[in-house]
Amino acid sequence: MSLLDIAVLVAYFILLQVVGFGVGRKKTQAVGFLSGDQALPWWVVSASIVAAETSSLTFISIPGLAYTGNLAFMQLAFGFVVGRIIVAFVLLPAYFKGNIETVYEFLEKRYSVSMRKMAAFLFQITRLLGTGVRLYATALPLSLITGWSITTSIFIFTLLTLPYLVFGGLRSAMWVEFIQTGVYLAGAAAAVWVLHASGASLLAAPAYKFEFLSMGWEKGWASFFTEPFHITAGLVGGALLAISSHGTDQLIVQKALACRNVRDAQKAMITSGILVDLQFLLFLLIGVWLFVFFQGAPFSTPDKIFPKFIIENLPQGLIGLVLAAIFATGQSTLSATISSLASSTMLDLFPRFAKENPEKSVFVSRLLSLAWAAAIVAIAFIFSDEKNPVVVIGLKLASILAGGIVGLYAMAFFRISSRVAFVGFTASAAGMSLVALFTPLAWTWYVPAGFLICVGVSFVSLQLRRLPIPFFRRL
């Protein structure tokens, strides 16, 4: 990198710390440190949601997806908006009415304390594994562009994220994520400008590159369930996936709960869906444009396409900006994850400590943030051993469990007993594990299938309770 690129990067990191420390206020209770005091503007929350769900995988992989295919991914993105609308008008009013501190407290109010702790524990394990994978994936392009080793990239990336997060908590993290959204969009815009200046025309791409609608049975009826990107799988699977990730996951829900009222939270949630769809479209079109630029040349892996373009074609200064954009996408996800893990640990697993020790709670919350950061780094290092089965577990576990979690929240509205709900969730988790291991079902169907198993088994359990058999009556 040139001195100009390094200067751009340094300016970016200084800006993050200044903003993070500037908006962070001294807290005396963990609830305020971890919740943002329900005082953030909805447009900051909306941008923060977008930043938290936009990892470096999005920045690097989505263009590669369009390079090797077309715009079919947008069908899944349409489902994301539908799911957020359901979250906004069904789940968020219930959360604000219940005045909950974490999304899993809702399960305690409807079921039991043990159900709340189980959901929080599952969230922590799946989020830990998933974020460790994303951290390693972020280190790969950084290593390629900067020449740093993977280990160095992971350490530097994490160390540059922790100061403003540990000092200011959720409030600082969300304001910084607002800045990071602008940075990575500026990086994408810089790539578009260079592509345009190169003389490569987006309109020169083959017509099939712009196709984005598929009915799913073009390759036969079996492909309806084995192909991940078609309109039905996209709308149904994408909607339920969004309900899971944005309505039952502390990572995103804690941001919505930081709004001043339910109306602001609804605006933030729905607007974030529209912004994410536009963002996906932008990155997909960059991929199509890169196909024209490289004249369809083959690559060993799609994830190398955009980094290769950045390294070889961007002028001095813009390389630093795009590298800052990659940092921004990864840092926003990492900071949001650490904050949500710390809040879930403190408020879900040790709620009495937070209430009975207000002066110590913020200090412990900061220690929890550092501990979770260390755990995520450890998972990222494990991922470097591609033969380790934790790679597969980290990528698939969240999708396997998500349908059952959505089922738990859905049944909570109908006052289903905790035992019946737990039976349904357990059946869903076990059934989807078998489906993932032994069937060709596309991953976009995992959440709908898990949801149907959870609700279906719970319904059967309710009917069995009516039988004159003591075992079933105890359900």
Where does the pLDDT of residue 389 fall: very low under 50, low under 70, confident under 90, or very high at 90 and above? very low
Q: Average pLDDT for residues 416-432, to the nearest whole number?
A: 92
CA angle 121, 126, 130 (to 5 degrees): 150
Distance CA 191, CA 13 (A): 21
77-81, 164-168, 260-264: least confident range:
164-168
Q: What is the pLDDT of residue 201?
A: 93
142 has pLDDT over 50: yes
Q: Average pLDDT for residues 65-74, to the nearest whole number?
A: 92
Contact 226, 387 (CB under 8 A): no
Q: Average pLDDT for residues 93-101, to the nearest whole number?
A: 88
Distance CA 435, CA 454 (A): 14
Higher-confidence residue: 9 or 83?
A: 83
Higher-confidence residue: 223 or 275?
A: 275
Bridge partners (DSSP) listed for residue 259? 40
Distance CA 76, CA 138 (A): 23
Where does the pLDDT of residue 393 fall: very low under 50, low under 70, confident under 90, or very high at 90 and above? very low
Cβ burial of 326 (10 Å; 0-12, 13-18, 19+) is: buried
Contact 225, 445 (CB under 8 A): yes
CA angle 176, 138, 59 (to 5 degrees): 75
Q: Average pLDDT for residues 113-120, to the nearest whole number?
A: 92
Q: What is the pTM of this model?
A: 0.84
pLDDT above 90 coverage of the chain, percent? 37
Q: What is the pLDDT of residue 325?
A: 84
Cβ burial of 467 (10 Å; 0-12, 13-18, 19+) is: exposed
**112-115 own/partner pairs: CB under 8 Å, 24+ apart:** 112/418, 114/418, 115/408, 115/418, 115/421, 115/422
Higher-confidence residue: 35 or 229?
A: 229
Distance CA 172, CA 168 (A): 5
Distance CA 357, CA 200 (A): 62
Tokens of 330: 């990864």
196-210, 220-234, 450-464: least confident range:
220-234
What radius of gyration, in Å, describes the C-alpha atoms of the chain?
Answer: 22
Where does the pLDDT of residue 233 fall: very low under 50, low under 70, confident under 90, or very high at 90 and above? confident
Count of helix runs (H) and strand runs (E) in the chain: 23, 0
Residue pLDDT, tens place only, 241-264: 899 989 998 889 988 988 989 999
**145-151 own/partner pairs: CB under 8 Å, 24+ apart:** 145/1, 145/307, 145/310, 145/311, 145/319, 145/323, 145/326, 146/1, 146/323, 150/384, 151/381
Please report, for the chain, the start and end positions of each structural domain, with discontinuous segments joined by +: 3-384, 385-475
Distance CA 267, CA 418 (A): 32
pLDDT above 70 coverage of the chain, percent? 89
Higher-confidence residue: 84 or 54?
A: 84
Tokens of 260: 């001043």
Q: Does an H or E element contain 154, and which?
A: helix 150-159
Tokens of 104: 């899993």
Residue pLDDT, tens place only, 312-331: 888 888 888 888 887 787 78
Q: What is the pLDDT of residue 327?
A: 79
167 has pLDDT over 90: no
Instruction: Count Cβ neighbours within 10 Å for each residue of 264-292 and write b for 16 or more, e otherwise.
Output: bbbbbbbbbbebbeebbbbbbbbbbbbbb
Would you list the DSSP string of 229-293?
-SHHIIIIIHHHHHHHHHHS-HHHHHHHTTBSSHHHHHHHHHHHHHHHHHHHHHHHHHHHHHHHH
Q: What is the pLDDT of residue 290?
A: 96
388 has pLDDT over 50: no
390 has pLDDT over 50: no
Contact 144, 311 (CB under 8 A): yes
69 has pLDDT over 60: yes
Where does the pLDDT of residue 35 fall: very low under 50, low under 70, confident under 90, or very high at 90 and above? low
Contact 338, 373 (CB under 8 A): yes
Residue pLDDT, tens place only, 341-370: 988 888 888 877 767 776 677 788 888 889
Q: How far is CA 281 from CA 49, 70, 338, 356, in A?
A: 18, 11, 29, 49
Q: Please, where are the H alpha helices in 259-417? A: 262-293, 305-313, 318-344, 351-356, 358-383, 390-412
Higher-confidence residue: 198 or 25?
A: 198
Higher-confidence residue: 152 or 85?
A: 85
The residue with tokens 């562009």 is 145
Q: What is the pLDDT of residue 387?
A: 44
CATH number of 3-384: 1.20.1730.10
Distance CA 101, CA 83 (A): 22
Looking at mean pLDDT, say which of 279-288, 380-389, 394-403 comes out highest: 279-288
- Count of residues making up the chain: 475
Mean pLDDT of the chain: 84
Q: Average pLDDT for residues 440-449, to the nearest whole number?
A: 90
458 has pLDDT over 90: yes
120 has pLDDT over 80: yes
